[in-house]
Amino acid sequence: MQIQTKNRIGLESKLAFKEFVLGVTSDPGNILQNWSNSSSVHVCNWTGITCNEKGDSVLELDLSGASLRGSISPAIARLSRLTVLDLSRNFFEGSIPREVGYLSELKQLSLSSNLLRGKIPSELGFFQGLEYLDLGSNNLGGDIPVSLFCNGTSSLEYVDISNNSLSGSIPLNGECDIKELRYLLLWSNKLTGQVPRALSNSSKLKWLDFENNFLEGELPFEIVKNLSKLQFVYLSYNRFSSSLEPFFLALSNSPGLQELELAGNRLFGKIPDTIRNLPGTLVQLHLDDNQISGGIPPSILNLLNLTLLNLSSNSLNGSIPKELCHMEKLERLYLSDNILSGDIPPCFGNVSKLGLLDLSKNRLSNLIPDTFSNVSQLRKLLLNNNKLVGTIPTSLSRCVNLETLDISHNQLSGSIPSDFARLSTLKMYLNISNNQLNGSLPPELSKMNMVLAMDLSSNNFSGAIPTQLGSCIALELLNLSGNALEGSLPDSIGKLPFLVNFDVSRNILSGKIPESFQKSSTLKHLNFSFNNFSGNVSFSVFDIDSFLGNPGLCSSSIAALPMCKSSHRKRSIHLPVLLPVLVIATFLMSLIPVFLKSKSKNKFSKIFSQKIGYEEDEENESEEHNYPKISHQELVEATNGFNGSSLIGAGQFGQVYKGILKDNTKIAVKVISYAKSAKISESFNRECEVLKNTRHRNLIRIITICSRPDFKALVLPLMQNGSLEDHLYPSDHGLSHLDLVQMVRILSDVAEGLVYLHHYAPVKEVEKNMEADGSPSVSSTDGLLCGSIGYIAPEYGMGRRASTQGDVYSFGVLLLEMVTRKRPTDVVFNDGSSLHEWVKSHYPHNLEPIIKEALVNYTPVSSTMSCNTKLLHDMVQELIELGLICTQYNPSTRPTMLDVAHEMATWKEYLSSPSSLLT
């Protein structure tokens, strides 16, 4: 009888699942493959299915993150005993079937991160025991049905309907029983009205996120005063209009509060002294982009655990209170765009963890303190657009981690100290423009060989431009305009390999414009105007606006400049020489990518390269290296005769097939092309040996090998989740299948693997056996970091041997690719530029479009993180900066993978901590 019951219920479930499968139009991971073999596999053993202990009822259906496409079948309602339905992180379209609401025993429903549209069915309010509801990150619209909250049940603990297009008011009233509610996330919708008073009944609420809506009225102090369990409150970017004092007093009843975001509203009045009553557990406070006035109260000192304080873009006045210096855990302080005056407190030098200080766009005066050199973690110092006077303190040269310094638009005087010019740690941006600085430009500026942008414009500098500036090989922007510089223009600057923007206008420079500028392939913005240059110029991409006010210039290619005498004869002489040179150069350039790919792949294959003897007998070779025995015939059977349907990838030296051995082990077989095999058998054997000895959780392990005179293959575990490219560039050209947190975790894991290979694996032995001629070695890394055009380090084109610095460069390109979702070989870079040059051209002032696109392009992150838009914004910006630092032209200026892995691990750890609050 029991068997008959099992069969009957199993058949009913199968019919429901069969209709569900009919609604699925794409299953790229073959997740539902065993659903099709229904005759041989019991329902309870299907992927994503969990049954009760007796096996006679389906309790859970979890197909999250399976990349399924199609629509959700109403037949799902036939699974009447279902308690968990999780179809999140797929690509389901259409509307939510109202029949889902008839699953009376459902406890958890998650349909988030799909492409669902239409209204939320009111039938979803039929659930009597639902605890967890997540419909976030879809295209749902219309009003939120009242029944969702007011259905006579009090079981709801978690509700996330964020990141949709829902409108209307929040439908909570006195009849709603939501006393068990702990998480309410409605961010990024079009909700209007006020925060309903009924929410005050949710005394267990921990997480409240209404960010990015059109809510109005006063800050809901009458509500939050009853919510003693609050830990995270996000009300930024709405239309709240009120003072802060009653709200701060109300929050004093929430002793566990950790993050408070009220940015982008219409808040007015002063920051009240009652800020001292905010819980001491607070770690982040955002009050930026409001209409707050008055001074910063010293009572803010009570918030000793703050790591981030953002008061920027308000109307704050008065001096900066010294009490801020006693907040020892402060890491980021934003006070920009206010009306603050007085001195910069020297005691900031005591805030040892301070990494970012933004005091720009105020009315601060007097000297720049000498004490910043004591802040060892300081990475960004922004003091621009104030009224600072005095000289540039030499002590800034001791800020060992400083990457960005902007002291422009002040009243600084004197010369650039030679010690300051040795600030070689600057990696991003130096701006000292629009001051009253004078004297000559010190040659020591050449020590800043990692800085990407340098703006010295609108000062009183005189003398010659040092030729040593040509050593700042990472420069993308150099602005020397508006000074009194004289003499000739150094040829070395025109040879800077990444220079995109160059401006020397409004100086007293003379002589000819060096040919290196005319030959530069990277320059996009150029200004030589209002100097005393003379001679012939033949720029093809710049017009008269770049050469105004130089009466001695002539040209046959730039309109509005006078023609040069005898220019025709010079062209006729040079053309026969130039044409063959161009032809030869073009031919050589066509060969370089092939050579570089081979050489770079040889480097990356250090990991897998160690000389071993060659054995013609595959059985003997397996025994010699303690691999499991496997024959060529077994591989043929496992891959259906290396059929095209089993092909999952191809590289320069062979193809990769998926297969299944007789013991059901899923494998990937990398078959080396026979034409290449004879040339690389020794490298193949080296790779096998080191693959066997390499042990790291982020590196693939070899299962076995198969080697005969006419056939060579590596057998590796099959990575069933597909390639990174599949997830980064889905076939529908839609959002990435990854979210930003997953992206950071992947990059951190890759960095860890490279650290192992660079510092802990038996690499020295491998390097010792590298072939000097750079002959290609077989590598299971075909198509990874260093093996493809666009990822290779530029020094490989100059004959340098492969190095760990080259791997850092390749990692940097991968990082920039993942952030921008632009392949290094995209058509946008066909003008000769590269991905890192394109990103550099936007740094530092035009990064915002790239950051916003990254935040939009990726699958929205979990609600626990996406609520903190400021954190995600800063994370993307810092990842871009790390990518630019890794891809610097000079290998010696790049960080080690140990440094990079540390940075990535810090973000990975930080991003993982908020999710733990949900447990």
Structure tokens at 549: 């006010």
Query: Angle, to 10 degrees, between the axis of helix 869-886 and the axis of helix 848-857?
Result: 110
- At 824 the pLDDT is 80
CB 4 within 8 A of CB 55: no
- At 568 the pLDDT is 39
**Are 638 and 740 in a shared domain?**
no
- At 572 the pLDDT is 34
The DSSP result for 758-814, as a single string, is IIISSHHHHHHT--TT------TTTTSGGGSTTTS-GGGGGTPPP-HHHHHHHHHHH
- At 330 the pLDDT is 95
In a domain? residue 677: yes
CA 253 to chain centre: 37
| Counted domains in the chain | 3
CB 357 within 8 A of CB 381: yes
In a domain? residue 229: no
Domain end point (choices 508, 534, 565) = 565
In a domain? residue 184: no
**Are 818 and 831 in a shared domain?**
yes
**Are 825 and 775 in a shared domain?**
yes
Q: Average pLDDT for residues 22-40, to the nearest whole number?
A: 82
**Are 758 and 891 in a shared domain?**
yes
Rounded CA-CA distance 913/916 in Å is 5
Domain end point (choices 720, 745, 769) = 720
Summarised one tens digit per residue, pLDDT across range 140-187 is 999 999 999 888 778 899 999 999 999 999 999 887 888 999 999 999
**Are 424 and 449 in a shared domain?**
yes
Rounded CA-CA distance 225/220 in Å is 9
Between 214 and 733, name the one with better pLDDT: 214
Instruction: Say if residue 320 is exposed, middle or buried (CB neighbours under 10 Å; 0-12, 13-18, 19+).
Output: buried
CATH code: domain of residue 728: 1.10.510.10
Least confidently predicted of 377-386, 450-459, 620-629, 736-745: 620-629
The DSSP result for 488-499, as a single string, is PPPHHHHT-TT-
Rounded CA-CA distance 893/901 in Å is 16
Residues in the chain: 919
CB 524 within 8 A of CB 501: yes
CB 738 within 8 A of CB 727: yes
- At 902 the pLDDT is 85
Structure tokens at 163: 């990141």
In a domain? residue 202: no
Rounded CA-CA distance 309/332 in Å is 6
For the chain, the average pLDDT equals 81
- At 573 the pLDDT is 31
In a domain? residue 105: no
* C-alpha distances in Å from residue 269, one per residue of 251, 600, 800: 18, 61, 63
Q: Average pLDDT for residues 631-642, to the nearest whole number?
A: 84
**Are 701 and 759 in a shared domain?**
no
pLDDT at 337 over 60: yes
Q: Report yes or no on whether pTM surpasses 0.95.
A: no
- At 146 the pLDDT is 92
Structural domain boundaries, residue 642: 609-720
**Are 744 and 809 in a shared domain?**
yes
- At 690 the pLDDT is 59
**Are 860 and 750 in a shared domain?**
yes
Rounded CA-CA distance 278/463 in Å is 57
pLDDT bracket for residue 424 (50, 70, 90):
confident
pLDDT bracket for residue 838 (50, 70, 90):
confident
Rounded CA-CA distance 225/221 in Å is 6
**Are 741 and 700 in a shared domain?**
no
| Residue 447 counted as an annotated binding residue | no
Summarised one tens digit per residue, pLDDT across range 75-132 is 999 898 999 999 999 999 999 999 999 999 999 999 999 999 999 999 998 888 999 9
**Are 835 and 889 in a shared domain?**
yes
Summarised one tens digit per residue, pLDDT across range 652-667 is 567 888 888 888 888 8
- At 689 the pLDDT is 61
**Are 420 and 539 in a shared domain?**
yes
CATH code: domain of residue 518: 3.80.10.10
Beta-ladder partners of 380: 356, 404
- At 95 the pLDDT is 96
Domain end point (choices 674, 701, 720) = 720
CB 267 within 8 A of CB 246: no
pLDDT at 604 over 70: no
> For the range 562-570, what are the long-range contacts, defined as Cβ-Cβ under 8 Å and sequence gap of 24 or more?
564/536, 567/536
In a domain? residue 738: yes
CATH code: domain of residue 653: 3.30.200.20
* C-alpha distances in Å from residue 788, one per residue of 598, 602, 607, 814: 9, 12, 17, 11
Structure tokens at 886: 């890794």
pLDDT at 435 over 50: yes
CB contact set of 704 (below 8 Å; sequence gap of 6+): 622, 627, 628, 629, 630, 715
pLDDT bracket for residue 210 (50, 70, 90):
very high
**Are 438 and 467 in a shared domain?**
yes
Rounded CA-CA distance 853/321 in Å is 38
In a domain? residue 169: no
In a domain? residue 856: yes
